[in-house]
Amino acid sequence: MSLTMAILMLVGMWISVAAAMLWGVLRIVRRHSHHHLPPQVQPKQQSVRRARRHAGAH
């Protein structure tokens, strides 16, 4: 392998690693960037009161 080919492969690998890291960072930013949206208010549901029973694990 010639020196030119080795340098081109190193540069190509560096570009591919940089692109993968940029893609990962943009993916994380897109997932966590919803803090600027107003919170959606959901109607409050009636709480269901259940009778307390002993566990039947005999």
All structural domains of the chain with their residue ranges: 3-31
Question: For residue 36, what is the DSSP state?
Answer: G
d(CA 43, CA 45): 6
What's the pLDDT band for 36 if we cut at 50, 70, 90?
low
What pLDDT does 24 receive? 95
pLDDT at 38 over 70: no
Q: Buried (b) or exposed (e) across 22-55, using 16+ Cβ within 10 A?
A: eeeeeeeeeeeeeeeeeeeeeeeeeeeeeeeeee
pTM equals 0.52
pLDDT at 19 over 90: yes
Q: How much is the average pLDDT of 6-33?
A: 94
